[in-house]
Amino acid sequence: MMRTRQRALDIADSTQPDTNAARLVLGNSAELDSQLPLQFELAGKPYRLVRIGDKLVAHASTCPHRLGPLQNAKVVNGQVECPWHGYRFNVISGECTSGQHGQLPLAPVISIDNDEVVASSEENV
């Protein structure tokens, strides 16, 4: 657990901007729903793909407060709650909705290209 936390701290503390736009094909759009929520990494950072209504959305899978794990947290009404301290975040905007300060890091843009779901950091570089 400490290694995972240290890795997350190292990623969060990284001051080097990502100058290379990253792109990752996550799967076929017709088959992906059976795999949701889907964990993935892009540019060395962990994310999770979920469905909110009819939209596929990615969000950071680590809480910015104390780097708590969000990868298994349920999404309820478009919000994910950190199991460690109860911070809630809107998975689309990243906004903290539980009254504390903080925001989820920008997540990759999700698009569909030739029936493939693609995560791209192009908008976040």
Q: What's the maximum distance between 2 C-alpha atoms anywhere in the chain? A: 41
The string of pLDDT tens digits covering residues 2-55 is 666 666 656 555 444 444 568 999 999 999 999 999 999 999 999 999 999 999
Per-residue model confidence as pLDDT tens digits over 73-115: 999 999 999 999 999 999 999 999 999 888 999 999 999 999 9
Q: 């993935």: which residue's tokens?
A: 40
DSSP β-bridge partners for residue 88: 81
Number of residues that make up the chain: 125
**What average pLDDT does the structure give for the chain?**
86
Confidence (pLDDT) at 101? 86
**Overall pTM > 0.85:** no
Q: Kindly report the CATH number that applies to the domain delimited by 2-124.
A: 2.102.10.10
DSSP code at position 58: E
Compute the distance between CA of residue 74 and CA of residue 62 in angstroms, rounded to an integer.
13
Burial grade of 73 (CB within 10 A; 0-12, 13-18, 19 or more): buried
